[in-house]
Homo-oligomer: A and B are copies of this chain.
Amino acid sequence: MEDDRDTLRILVATDCHLGYMEKDEIRRFDSFEAFEEICSLAKQKEVDFVLLGGDLFHENKPSRSTLVKTIEILRRYCLNDLPVKFQVVSDQTVNFPNRFGHVNYEDPHFNVGLPVFTIHGNHDDPAGVDNLSAIDILSACNLVNYFGKMDLGGSGVGQIAVHPVLVKKGTTTVALYGLGNIRDERLNRMFQTPHSVQWMRPESQEGLSVSDWFNILVLHQNRIKTNPKSAINEHFLPRFLDFVVWGHEHECLIDPQEVPGMGFHITQPGSSVATSLIDGEAKPKHVLLLEIKGNQYRPNKIPLMTVRPFEYAEVVLKDEADVDPNDQASVLEHLDKIVRNLIEKSSQPTASRSEAKLPLVRIKVDYSGFSTINPQRFGQKYVGKVANPQDILIFSKAAKKRQTTTGENIDESEKLRPEELNQQTIEALVAENNLKMEILPVDDLDIALHDFVSKDDKTAFYACLQRNLDETRKKLNSEAEKLKIEEEDIIVKVGECMQERVKEISLRSKGDTGLASSTQNLVKCCYSQ
C-alpha cells in the first residue's frame, strides 16, 4: 500500500496536554516539544492530515503563553504551500459549526497545507454561556478543524447526532465520526437509551453505497473499567465502525486491538507527555500513521523521540533481603540503589527515548512493616539528576482486608498516613488507587465542581481536598488525645474519620444535586489525566 492517489494517510495522536507543567523549571517545554515532534512527523511523512483525540490543552483555560506557543507551532507546520489532496464532501457547516463553517484548508485567505482535525477532551471541553472550548480559539484562527462538539440539549438524557466528516481521496472514502468528551456516566446512559445517540451514516450517492465508507470513530472517554459506570464499554459502540481512535487513556496501546464480536479495532495512542507517574505512562510513547485504501488499512507505529525518559519501579520492602525494618539506613540505601539503576537505565539510548533530558523516576514502595521516608528529603540528592526529585517515592501498603469498628472492610492499601498528605502524594494516590470516595465526600466534590465551573475558581478542587484533609487531621488529633492509640491503629482511624465526614456531609445536604455520580470521573479528570 504505497502513497498513491487513492491512499489516505493520517497521523493519529492524542492527549498532547499542551501547557502541562508550564511552571516547572525542568519540564515546562515537554508538552510543546512532543507536539512539535508530532507535527514535524506529519510533515516528514507527508500525511494528508493529523487527527487528534482530545486534550490538546492541559488546562481548560490555557495560559497566554501556552496559547501563543500552540498557535506558533500550528502556524509553522500547518501553513505551507503543499497541496491538500483530499476533499471533505459532507456538509461542512454541520461538521465545523463556527462562524466560518468550512474546513480550514478551503478558506481562500489561508495557505493551509497540513490540516488538523480534533475533538475536545475532558481538559479542553467547552464551557460557559457560549459553550466555547479553548479549541474554538484555534478554530477561529483557522488553525484546526474542530469537530465532534455535541449540543447535549436540556431535559432527560438528551439526544445527540454524530455527523461524520466525509473524506474522499481518489477512490477511498472515509467517514470520520467525532465524539468530544462527554461525562462517562452521561454517555453511558445515552448509549443505553434507544435513539439517544444517532449515528448519521452517509446516504448512498454517486454510485457509493453506505457500505463503501471506511468508518472511523475518534472519542475521548475512560476505557479502563474500574467502575463500569464511569467508563465506556466498547460494546456500546456501533458495529458498522471499522476503526476506533481512543483518546483520554494515557497508556500507549498503539497497536490496533480487535474487539471480539464487534468487527472493529481500537488504537489507543496514549498521551504524548506523561501527566501522572504511573506504570502505564512509563511505556514508550508512539503515534500512529494510519494508511487507508478502500476498505483496507495499514497501521504504522512511530516512536516519539523527544519524550522525557520515565522509569518506573515497584518494590515491596518486606520481600527485600538487604533491608531491615529497624534500620532506616538500610532502606535508604536500598532505595538509592534502585533510583541509581533507573537513572542509568534511562540514559541508555533506545529508539524511543531522548538522551539529553533528565529522566522522570518513580518508585512505588510497599512499606508494610516499615516506616515511611519523607519523599522530599529523600529526593534532595537527585536534584540535577532526575526531573522530579520531589516525588520519586510513593508509599503504599499491601492490600489486606481489615475489619473496622463500623464493621466495614477497609482495604489497607487505600489507607494514608497523615504525614504523607501533601498535594503531590494525594494527586498520585487519587490517580493510582481508588481512594476517591474515602478522601473526598461526594457533596464536597459537587460543590467544588460548581465553584470550578460557575465561579471560575481554579483552586476549587485543591481547596476541597485541603478542607477535607484538615477536617480529617483535626478529628484524628482529637481522637488521639482521648485514646492512647498505636500507630497501626491510626491508619484505621483515618478511614473511620473519612467515613464519618462523608456521612456528616451527606446528612447536611440532603438534596441530590444530580452531580453526585460524576465524582469518580471528576477526580480522574482533574488530577490524573
Q: Report which A residues bind B (CB closer than 8 A).
A: 61, 63-65, 67-68, 71-72, 75-76, 79-81, 99-100, 108-111, 128-130, 132-134, 136-137, 140-143
Contact = CB atoms under 8 A, between A and B. Distances in A.
Contacts of A108: 81, 111
B80 A109 contact: yes
A112 to B, nearest CB: 8
A329 to B, nearest CB: 41
Contacts of A72: 99-100, 140
A56 to B, nearest CB: 14
Contact of A111 (B67, B99, B109, B130): B109
26 contacts: A61-B64, A64-B130, A64-B132, A64-B133, A64-B136, A64-B137, A65-B128, A65-B132, A67-B137, A67-B140, A68-B130, A68-B136, A71-B140, A71-B141, A75-B100, A75-B109, A75-B141, A75-B142, A80-B109, A81-B109, A108-B111, A109-B111, A110-B111, A137-B137, A141-B141, A141-B143
A302 to B, nearest CB: 26
Nearest to A99: B72
A61 B59 CA distance: 15
A128 B79 contact: no
A130 B65 contact: yes
A394 to B, nearest CB: 29
Nearest to A113: B109
Nearest to A73: B99
Given A79-B109, A109-B110, A68 B132 contact: yes
A64 to B, nearest CB: 5
A320 B4 CA distance: 88
A291 to B, nearest CB: 27
Contacts of A141: 71, 75, 141, 143
A140 B64 CA distance: 11
A300 to B, nearest CB: 29
A80 B107 CA distance: 11
Contacts of A142: 75
Contact of A68 (B61, B79, B110, B140): B140
Contacts of A79: 109-110
A473 to B, nearest CB: 26
A52 B198 CA distance: 48
Contacts of A67: 137, 140
A71 B132 contact: no
Contacts of A68: 130, 132, 136-137, 140
Nearest to A79: B109
A132 to B, nearest CB: 5
Most buried by B among A64, A71, A110: A64
Contact of A71 (B64, B80, B137): B137
A326 to B, nearest CB: 46
A460 to B, nearest CB: 15
A332 to B, nearest CB: 36
A71 to B, nearest CB: 4
Given A65-B130, A76-B99, 7 more contacts: A64-B134, A67-B137, A71-B141, A75-B140, A79-B110, A81-B108, A109-B110
Which of A65, A80, A100: most chain B Cβ within 10 A?
Answer: A65
Nearest to A143: B141
Task: Pick from A75, A81, A111 the residue with the most CB of B within 10 Å.
Answer: A75
A316 to B, nearest CB: 43
